[in-house]
Amino acid sequence: MKILIVEDDLRVSELLQRGLSEAGFDIHLAYDGKSAERLFNSNQFDLIVTDIILPKIDGIEFCRRIKTKNPSLPIIMLTALGTTDDKVEGFDAGADDYLVKPFEMRELIARINALLKRKPYKNQAHKIILKFADLEMNLHTKLVKRNGIDINLTPKEFKLLKFMLENPERVLSREEISENVWEMSFDTGTNFIDVYINYLRKKIDKNFDQKLIHTKTGMGFVMKK
């Protein structure tokens, strides 16, 4: 598997190159966002690992540009920043996973392998339109409407709503949401899932009398009428 590493710290980039090469990956290095974008445009990569703080083009903007061109390409963000807001910004840009420095190489390798092995939801293979009450999602056009009104969602909001629409009337734990939407183990030290649920509520429920997204205290969230 060919992996692009984008890291401006030479020591860290060399450690990543050595550790991932020993794990059997074909590693290509870039030290700023602009050169990373050039490498992406001239190569076919299976996954990208990028720092957030980069020269020329930062990791957030680099991620947005890559996801615009290839939405299915997995991207892992590495950063010394670890707050909920930082994670939300990274996920909004399209990142698939997030690892805070310092980290163990075996954890990064496990995250990489998990992303490379991921598969589309089986129960979605034959569906184009997801509906619940007056809420509708078109998986081809990526349009979401409620009562005929267009609702604009970020990529992660869309993916979270899609998972909830696939599992109506069922309580979804934070662990289950984390594993299926973010494809990572739930970090009990952060509340980014609650943050995204609140984002969805403001867009899906706020201007409508009937609320569809509900909280089950101590259990998770459920979409119900």
Inter-residue contact 5 to 30 (CB < 8 Å): yes
| CATH of region 122-223, choose from 3.90.25.10, 1.10.10.10, 1.10.287.130, 3.30.230.10 | 1.10.10.10
**Mean of all residue pLDDT scores within the chain:** 87
> What pLDDT is recorded for position 119?
46
* 213, containing H or E segment: strand 213-216
> What pLDDT is recorded for position 44?
87
- For residues 138 and 130, what is the distance between their CA atoms, to the nearest angstrom? 7
Q: How far is CA 170 from CA 5, 41, 48, 147, 167, in A?
A: 39, 42, 34, 23, 6
Give the pLDDT band of residue 124 (cuts 50, 70, 90). very low
Q: Does the pLDDT of residue 157 top 90, yes or no?
A: yes
> What pLDDT is recorded for position 92?
84
Highest-scoring range by mean pLDDT, 96-100, 125-129, 205-209: 205-209
What is the pLDDT averaged over residues 106-111?
93
- For residues 201 and 98, what is the distance between their CA atoms, to the nearest angstrom? 24
Give pTM, 2 decimals: 0.57
> What pLDDT is recorded for position 6?
97
Does CATH place domain 2-117 in 3.40.50.1820? no
Give the pLDDT band of residue 122 (cuts 50, 70, 90). very low
Min mean pLDDT across 37-46, 59-68, 82-91, 145-154 is at 82-91
> What pLDDT is recorded for position 188?
57
- 100 bridge partner residues: 79
Q: Spell out the long-range contacts of 161-168 with Cβ–Cβ below 8 A and sequence spacing 24 or more.
A: 161/137, 161/200, 161/204, 162/124, 162/130, 162/137, 163/121, 164/213, 164/221, 164/223, 165/130, 165/131, 165/132, 165/135, 165/137, 165/223, 166/121, 166/123, 166/124, 166/130, 167/223, 168/132, 168/223, 168/224
Nearest residue to 118 via CA among 62, 174, 76, 61: 76
What is the pLDDT averaged over residues 178-207?
83
- For residues 58 and 136, what is the distance between their CA atoms, to the nearest angstrom? 35
Residue 216 main-chain phi, psi, to 5 deg: -105, 105
Burial of 58 (0-12, 13-18, 19+ CB in 10 A): middle
Min mean pLDDT across 37-51, 110-124, 158-172, 178-192 is at 110-124
Which residues of the chain does CATH 1.10.10.10 include?
122-223
Inter-residue contact 47 to 75 (CB < 8 Å): yes
